Amino acid sequence: MIHQATGVSMENILYLGGPNIASEIYHKEYANARICGAEKWRKPLAKFLRQPHFIVWDNSDLVTHEVMGGLKNVYAIGAGMVAALTNESATSKSVYFAHCTSEMIFITHLLSEEPEKLAGPLLADTYVTLLKG
């Protein structure tokens, strides 16, 4: 959408995503992130951002990360609803999380040529958002 709206080349668009919470990174809690996009930008930027407490991975699959990064926010809204409607039932929340992760894995397999490289970071990003996002 950024490419279509602005005309900026896909080669010059990057995605930076969790699993992390900004305030926790600020307080130097251990965290990691992934940066996605063209190699010419993502590799040096990942190296620049990397800190002892903030590990930055890189991946070329910009579109899948962007789609799933948005989707996990929708899941977080649903998680809040499940928590409120079930009086914080751990069982209900775990069932909801299982459904969310199954759907994310399925969608990742549709979008990506190498979904196994994405599953861990995407699911971790979803988990942290459901906990605190």
Among residues 28, 40, 47, 72, the one annotated as catalytic is 72
Beta bridge partners of 82: none
Active site residue 93: no
Active site residues: 72
